[in-house]
Chain A
């Protein structure tokens, strides 16, 4: 047995001991798509105690992007002389009029990039084209977008803009809790986002909402240790903020990145899939950077695009439904023919369920309740 699996056995033993001392079901939520897929890939769900459920929250950037933002990306891609640069997992998300992938097959210029700076570089090399970067993601990707805008400004690029759908994690958690539909015992908070925003960012969730928050990295062991601490807190009647990823996450976070974000963006009320409009939950360009705003450059009005009919992605990402509750899951909606974004993104809950879940596992959310 390897050293790693010995540690893992210890952690799982603690988790089982804690769970056994609790005479009810403990419901935990991870709020990061990377946690969702990491948990499924390593088979963590199959090892969870019977009375610990793990739900997926609104933490997959693709899944929370509103239908109207996707429709705008597709519309931009179809404009003459415009190239849309996007992160890979956005291209298959269907909007009301198709996805970037189908638009590309019909001649739209869509380019997959790995960083916002690649899009800036591409714009610099193609001055006769308008390059639009579809800026998606939480605080992990936002600093890179901010740096790209600053760089485009420095290079005086008049052919680079961004269509911003950047979102903030903490307001989403608050909105979820304010909604009051989901009964939770605690959150497994995302490692990468926390590197930027810092552990203290979750303090209001613990203080004001009396909700446990444990920050964990993405290694299997780290995640399992985080879930164990949450369960032990429940057993011991504690409500604490704990940082189980101190090698990367500090209390105050990455100040340089925070300042960069604040220099380029300001908080605004934005639309989330399923959660609707949440005050101060997204980021828009500050007025001094408005020349880089694609919506202004191309005079785009956000279309009023309803979520696909019958699709429960919205309820899935808020823990109110599991993929199995959705009539489309696994029949009309599959990874090959996705209807909702949770089936498109490989960090989406529906795709993870479809792809990794063993048929024998019962249709409860994640763990075996």
Chain B
């Protein structure tokens, strides 16, 4: 008997199929259609087994990060912008000028090619913003249910000239500077993922910060250490800094930039904004004498318009990160423990 109700086989022009990861003609086609036009540059276009790039001055910095965010597209960004910004920022806060990026894609069978194309567009735009090139890459496809749409891994290299910022350079008396309002990324993504029916004005802050940071390093003196407060938020960075330096880090709650709508969302979900992820923020620990200059450079750039001095480093018998609260109270700040879990009521 003929089965008249057969389901059509997936159309590889609209949908990612397993064969797209097979390394054959279909892989070539996917790369040619979806990847190359969006990330075009002469090194990538060679499609050789390894990219060969010119070395910059100074020492080499190397970093790698995996990106598994859900949803793939969220208000203010997507997994592609995140993958470029995250890796660029890791290099930048280490004092390195990003030079090249390697891009690994793991696609789930059945992924809509339009989504892939939009993400690749976004990668291209973010790389342009950062002024870095994606010079090599890899694409694999896994079966349905074995991945969540797509995962991205980006590795980046950069070059550090001069003395890199390091926690060992932090001294009592230093100040902490933040380039703008916190917690927007984590809350925008969480609301998009868990409460898609809620219409929210929150937008992720995801952005490459290397140009901003380069300006600060070029035009000012006195940056001791930098860190991007990503997954464990500002709390994670200051708690870690206290531990590494053995000093007391004091954060002034009133001084930490936070949008009212973000604060409201955090309150609704029972989350502490200090523990929520950022993807376009940097904490700069600096010599207090340089603070005004650093603030001026930051505020002159849209990515640093909300910059503020948010805390200071003090001598201490034992390492401690502490919050001076808006009402004049004090409490300690610890690294968050893991998954951010909204409360029951």
Residues of A within 8 A of B (CB): 2, 4-5, 8-9, 12, 33-34, 37, 40-47, 61-62, 87-92, 112, 114, 136-138, 140-141, 192-193, 218, 220-221, 224, 335-336, 346-347, 355-359
Are the CB atoms of B343 and A356 closer together than 8 Å?
no
Given that A34-B270, A41-B272, A357-B332 are contacting pairs, would A335 and B327 also be in contact in the complex, using a CB cutoff of 8 Å?
no
State the CA gap A160–B162 with chains docked (Å).
Answer: 63
Taken together as a complex, chains A and B put the C-alpha atoms of A220 and B327 apart, in Å, by 8
B341 CB contacts on chain A under 8 angstroms? 88-89, 91-92, 112, 346
| Given A89-B344, A112-B341, A114-B195, A355 contacting B334 (CB threshold 8 A) | yes
Do B270 and A346 touch across chains, with their CB atoms under 8 A apart? yes
Query: Is B325 within 8 A of A42, CB to CB?
Result: yes
For chain B, the bracket of interface size reads 20 to 34
Chain A interface main SS type: helix
A359 touches B345 (CB 8 A): no
Residues of A within 8 A of B330 (CB): 43, 46, 358
A88 touching B327, Cβ below 8 Å: no
B residues lining the A interface (CB < 8 Å):
194-195, 254, 267, 270, 272, 318, 320, 322-332, 334, 337-339, 341-345
A46 to B54, CA, bound (A): 57
How many residue pairs between the two chains, A and B, have CB atoms under 8 Å in the bound complex? 106
- Min CB distance B38 to A, Å, is 35
- Among A47, A141, A193, A355, the one with the most B-chain Cβ atoms within 10 Å of its Cβ is A355
Partner of B326, one of A4, A87, A218: A4
Residue with the highest number of chain A CB atoms closer than 10 Å, among B326, B342, B343, B344: B344
Contact between chains at A45 and B329 (CB < 8 Å):
yes
Q: Which residue of B lies closest to A40 (CB)?
A: B331
State whether A41 touches B331 (Cβ < 8 A): yes
Contact check, B344 vs A62: say whether CB atoms are below 8 A apart: yes
Whether the Cβ atoms of A46 and B345 lie closer than 8 Å is: no
Contact A357 to B343, CB < 8 A, known contacts A41-B272, A43-B325: no
Whole-angstrom CA separation of A346 from B334 in the bound complex? 13
Nearest 9 pairs between A and B by C-beta? A43-B329, A88-B341, A140-B345, A43-B325, A356-B331, A43-B331, A335-B337, A87-B344, A46-B329
- Chain A residues within 8 Å of B322, by CB: 358
Question: Complex: how many Å from CA A143 to CA B194?
Answer: 21
Contact present for B331 and A141 (CB under 8 Å): no
Q: Are B331 and A8 in contact (CB under 8 A)?
A: no
Contacts of B326 in A (CB 8 A): 2, 4-5, 42, 220
Using A41-B272, A42-B329, A43-B327 as known contacts, say yes or no to A88 and B342 having CB atoms under 8 A apart: yes
Expressed in whole angstroms, the Cα–Cα distance for A357 and B329 within the complex equals 11
Q: Which residues of A contact B344 (CB under 8 A)?
A: 61-62, 87-90, 136-137, 141, 347
- Nearest CB of chain A from residue B238's CB, rounded to whole Å: 14
CA distance A326 to B164 in the complex (A): 46
Inside 8 A of A87's CB, which chain B residues have their CB?
342-344
- Closest-by-CB residue of A relative to B322 is A358
A5 touches B337 (CB 8 A): no
Please state if B345 and A137 are interface contacts (CB–CB under 8 Å): yes
25 inter-chain pairs at a CB distance below 8 angstroms, sorted by A residue, are A2-B254, A4-B326, A5-B326, A34-B343, A41-B272, A42-B327, A43-B324, A43-B329, A46-B329, A47-B327, A47-B328, A61-B345, A87-B343, A87-B344, A89-B342, A89-B343, A137-B344, A218-B267, A220-B325, A220-B327, A336-B337, A336-B338, A357-B332, A359-B318, A359-B332
A335 to B195, CA, bound (A): 27
Bound Cα distance from A136 to B338, whole angstroms: 22
Which residues of B sit under 8 angstroms from A136, Cβ to Cβ? 344
Shortest distance in angstroms between B14's beta carbon and chain A's nearest beta carbon?
A: 24
Residues of A within 8 A of B324 (CB): 43
Cβ of B327: which chain A residues have Cβ within 8 Å of it?
A: 4-5, 8, 12, 42-44, 47, 220-221, 224
Distance of A335 Cα from B336 Cα, bound (Å): 9
Instruction: Report chain A residues within 8 Å CB of B329.
Output: 42-47
In angstroms, Cα B248 to Cα A358, docked, is 12
A89 / chain B contacts, CB cutoff of 8 Å: 341-344
User: Is there contact, CB below 8 Å, between A347 and B331?
Assistant: no
| B343 in contact with A359 (CB, 8 Å) | no
Whether the Cβ atoms of B270 and A8 lie closer than 8 Å is no
Q: Which residue of B lies closest to A335 (CB)?
A: B337
